[in-house]
C-alpha cells in the first residue's frame, strides 16, 4: 500500500534569504491573483474560463510584462497556477466555493515540485533560485539517540511563512505492507463537549479546551492589533503576535488529537464512530466555539488514515442511528434531550451515563456492521 507522509521543519534563513523567500511567495501570490482576475474578466465578456494548461502557457508572456517574475523558480509559479486550476475544478464539482484572491500574510507559501535537494547530514535544504537554507530537525529522537530520518521517496517541497517564521514541508511517498485485518478488540467512541470522548471500555478522555485557555489572551492581543496603524511596523509585529497565539492553540490541539488517535489505533482493531454533521452543528451560535475547539472532524480523519495504515477498520455509523436513545442493556428506546446526562431505562431499570451508553451502542452496531462486510 502506498501512502503519502509529510515532514515539517523550521527554517533558519539568513536575512538575504528571507528577502528571496518573501519575493518567491509574493510572486506566486501575484500570478495566482492575476490569473484569477483575468478569469473573472474573461467570464464577464465571453462566458468562458481559462484553465490550467492555458494559464501555465501564459507565464512566459507574464514574465515579459512583469520582469520580477523571472527571479523566481518557474516551476513554483506553474504550481501556483495549478493550485488555481484545482480550485476551479473543486468549485465546478460542487466541493468548494469560488476561488478568492490570496492575501498577504495569510497562507503565504510556494511549492517546488523538482530541482530541490535535502541534505540531512548537515540539516540543509537547497531551494532553487535561493540556495542552501538551514533547517531545524525538531523530530523526536529514537532509542538510538539519532534524529529520525526522512523515509520514503521525496516528491515535493513546500515553503511557508507563519507568525514571522519560515517552515518547510517535505512530502514523501512510502510503501507499507498490508497486514491481516482483524475485527477483534472493538471500541465504540462517542465524542462530546463535556468530555472529548467516552469509550465503550469505560474510559473517558478529557476535553482539553485549548481555545478556552487562550481566549482571554487572544482577545487582548487582537484589541491591541485593532489600535495600530494598519501595515505599520508595530502593526506587523502585533499581527505576528496574534498569529503566534493562534499557532499555539492549533498546534496544541493537533498534538492532542495525534497522540489520542495513535493510542486508540495501537490498542484496538475495530472502531465505531458517529457520522456527525459538524458543518451544521457549528451553526448553533451557543455551541459553535466549543465544537470548533474540540476538533471532531480532524479526529475522525486521523482515526481513519491511521487505522488504514495498520489494516484496521473504522466504521462510521449512520448519523441517524439513535445511539443516545437506545438502552445498552435491554435495547428499549426513549427520547433523550441534550440536558439529560444520565440514561435511566424505564423497562429494565438500568442507570448509566448518557455518553457511555451511546459508546456501548456504537460498539454493538459496529460489530454488527463488520460481521456483514
Residues recognised as catalytic: 190, 274, 355
The single residue listed with the C-alpha cell 466541493 is 95
Q: What is the C-alpha to C-alpha distance for residues 268 and 262, in angstroms, rounded to an integer?
A: 10
Q: What is the C-alpha to C-alpha distance for residues 314 and 155, in angstroms, rounded to an integer?
A: 29
DSSP three-state, residue 113: coil
Angle (CA) 368-369-373 rounded to 5° is: 120
Largest separation between any pair of C-alpha atoms in the chain: 81
Q: What is the C-alpha to C-alpha distance for residues 139 and 148, in angstroms, rounded to an integer?
A: 6
Where would I find the H helices in 47-120?
A: 52-57, 59-65, 74-92
DSSP three-state, residue 225: helix
Q: Which of 20, 31, 41, 22 is nearest to 63 (CA)?
A: 31
Q: What is the C-alpha to C-alpha distance for residues 273 and 304, in angstroms, rounded to an integer?
A: 10
Exposed/middle/buried for residue 367 (C-beta within 10 Å: 0-12, 13-18, 19+): middle
Distance of CA 222 to the CA centre of its chain: 24
Q: What is the C-alpha to C-alpha distance for residues 327 and 344, in angstroms, rounded to an integer?
A: 8
Exposed/middle/buried for residue 272 (C-beta within 10 Å: 0-12, 13-18, 19+): buried
Amino acid at each position: 500500500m502506498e501512502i503519502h507522509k509529510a515532514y515539517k521543519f523550521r527554517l533558519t534563513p539568513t536575512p538575504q534569504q528571507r528577502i528571496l523567500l518573501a519575493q518567491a511567495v509574493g510572486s506566486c501570490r501575484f500570478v495566482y491573483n492575476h490569473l484569477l482576475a483575468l478569469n473573472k474578466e474573461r467570464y464577464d465578456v465571453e462566458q468562458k474560463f481559462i484553465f490550467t494548461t492555458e494559464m501555465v502557457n501564459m507565464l512566459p508572456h507574464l514574465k515579459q510584462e512583469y520582469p520580477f517574475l523571472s527571479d523566481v523558480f518557474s516551476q513554483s509559479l506553474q504550481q501556483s497556477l495549478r493550485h488555481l486550476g484545482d480550485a476551479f475544478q473543486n468549485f465546478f464539482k460542487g466541493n468548494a466555493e469560488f476561488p478568492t484572491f490570496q492575501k498577504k500574510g495569510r497562507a503565504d507559501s510556494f511549492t517546488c515540485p523538482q530541482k530541490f535537494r535535502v541534505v540531512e547530514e548537515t540539516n540543509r535544504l537547497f531551494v532553487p533560485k535561493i540556495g542552501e537554507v538551514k533547517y531545524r530537525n525538531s523530530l523526536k529522537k529514537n532509542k538510538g539517540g539519532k534524529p529520525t530520518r526522512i523515509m520514503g521517496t521525496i516528491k515535493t517541497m513546500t515553503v511557508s511563512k507563519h507568525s514571522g517564521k519560515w517552515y518547510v514541508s517535505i512530502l514523501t511517498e512510502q510503501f507499507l505492507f498490508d497486514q491481516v485485518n482483524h475485527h477483534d478488540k472493538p471500541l465504540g467512541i462517542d465524542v462530546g463537549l463535556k468530555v472529548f470522548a467516552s469509550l465503550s471500555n469505560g474510559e473517558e478522555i478529557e476535553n482539553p479546551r485549548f481555545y478556552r485557555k487562550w481566549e482571554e489572551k487572544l482577545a487582548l492581543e487582537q484589541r491591541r492589533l485593532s489600535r495600530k496603524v494598519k501595515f505599520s511596523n508595530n502593526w506587523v509585529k502585533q499581527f505576528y503576535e496574534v498569529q503566534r497565539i493562534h499557532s499555539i492553540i492549533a498546534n496544541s490541539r493537533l498534538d492532542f488529537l495525534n497522540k489520542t488517535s495513535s493510542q486508540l489505533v495501537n490498542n484496538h482493531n475495530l472502531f465505531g464512530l458517529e457520522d456527525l454533521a459538524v458543518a451544521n452543528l457549528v451553526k448553533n451560535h451557543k455551541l459553535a466555539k466549543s465544537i470548533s475547539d474540540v476538533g471532531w472532524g480532524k479526529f475522525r480523519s486521523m482515526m481513519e488514515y491511521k487505522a488504514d495504515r495498520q489494516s484496521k477498520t473504522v466504521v462510521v455509523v449512520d448519523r441517524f442511528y439513535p445511539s443516545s436513545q437506545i438502552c445498552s442493556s435491554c435495547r428499549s428506546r426513549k427520547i433523550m434531550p441534550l440536558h439529560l446526562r444520565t440514561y435511566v431505562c424505564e423497562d429494565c431499570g438500568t442507570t448509566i451515563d448518557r455518553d457511555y451508553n451511546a459508546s456501548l451502542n456504537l460498539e454493538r452496531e459496529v460489530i454488527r456492521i463488520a460481521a456483514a462486510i
